[in-house]
Structure 1
Amino acid sequence: MSDIHPDVQAALDAARDLRHRIAELRERINDIRARRPSPSGAVVPEIDAMGRLTDLYLAPGTVDRFGNEELAAEIMAAIRDSTADAGRQYQQLMDSDPWQVAEPATGGQG
């Protein structure tokens, strides 16, 4: 007979639940995207939660409108702002008790 002890079953259930919660948290982290425009609004980067540049939008005519240094400054300003925003989003997620990912609020305190 291969009956599992209740304590072992409880540990296995807790481990499975933890794996699911971690997967859900990873999904939420992977969904974080920040898109903050440059001061002129002509450049919009997309930054993920890990601070990686995932996309870069340049409005039509942007390259012609700016010199090299100005364009670089526009791009860098937008990337800095977007990176800070993605960091804030990540920090908010982590500060919001991320282990309550899919749990409904439970009964109150008396």
Structure 2
Amino acid sequence: MRAEWQAHIDELLQTYQEKRRQIQEMQSKLETIEAEAEAADGMVRVTVDRQGRLTSLELDPRVQRRLGSAELAEAIMEASKEAQSQVADQMRAAMQDLVPEGAAKENFDIAKLLPERPDNIDAVRERLGILPP
């Protein structure tokens, strides 16, 4: 195998490994995303995780005197939707540099961008006669 081919293959593998590292870092950041939002003049506060699941609900004691049950439910839903929207914006912003052009960014599965590892790269190198020294 020619030395320039070996160098090119090594460069491609190094690029792959760098992209894989960037994706792993981004996934770690995505796992910590959460958002908080308020409604009813701050008397209702919610926190949602990266998947939009409600993780915290805080009600000001005054809310029981000021809002009926339907209004309270509406305020909780309003705050939840706002927090979910913030999470979606954060996710899009975190992924925008790694999502390929033309991909549906809102539904893109970043885990599919690169496989866990290239298919048995040593077998490929052996078949091509370019095993590393």
Question: Does TM-score exceed 0.5, indicating one fold?
Answer: yes
Q: 1:75 is matched with which residue? A: 76
Output the TM-score relative to the length of structure 2: 0.57
User: Can you list the C-alpha shifts for 1:82-110, whole angstroms capped at 9, x where unaligned?
Assistant: 11122222223334x258xxxxxxxxxxx
Q: 1:19 is matched with which residue? A: 20
Q: 1:34 is matched with which residue? A: 35
Structure 1 vs Structure 2 CA RMSD: 2.3
CA distance in 2, matches of 1:10, 1:84: 40
User: Can you list the C-alpha shifts for 1:58-79, whole angstroms capped at 9, x where unaligned?
Assistant: 22354x3333212211100111
CA distance in 1, matches of 2:86, 2:40: 15
Give the secondary-structure state (helix, strand or coil) at the position aligned to 1:7: helix
1:88 counterpart letter in structure 2: D
Q: 2:51 is matched with which residue? A: 50
Q: 2:88 is matched with which residue? A: 87
1:84 counterpart letter in structure 2: S
Offset of residue 20 of structure 1: 0.8
5+ residue gaps in structure 1? 100-110
- Asked whether the 8 Å contact 2:31–2:50 carries over to 1, the reply is yes
1:91 counterpart letter in structure 2: R
Larger Rg: 2
Spell out structure 1 runs of 4+ moving beyond 3 A: none
2:43 counterpart letter in structure 1: A
Output the TM-score relative to the length of structure 1: 0.67
CA distance in 2, matches of 1:28, 1:7: 32
State the identity %. 29
CA distance in 2, matches of 1:50, 1:90: 10
5+ residue gaps in structure 2? 1-5, 100-133
Which structure exhibits the higher relative contact order, with contacts defined as CA atoms closer than 8 Å and separated by 6 or more residues? 1
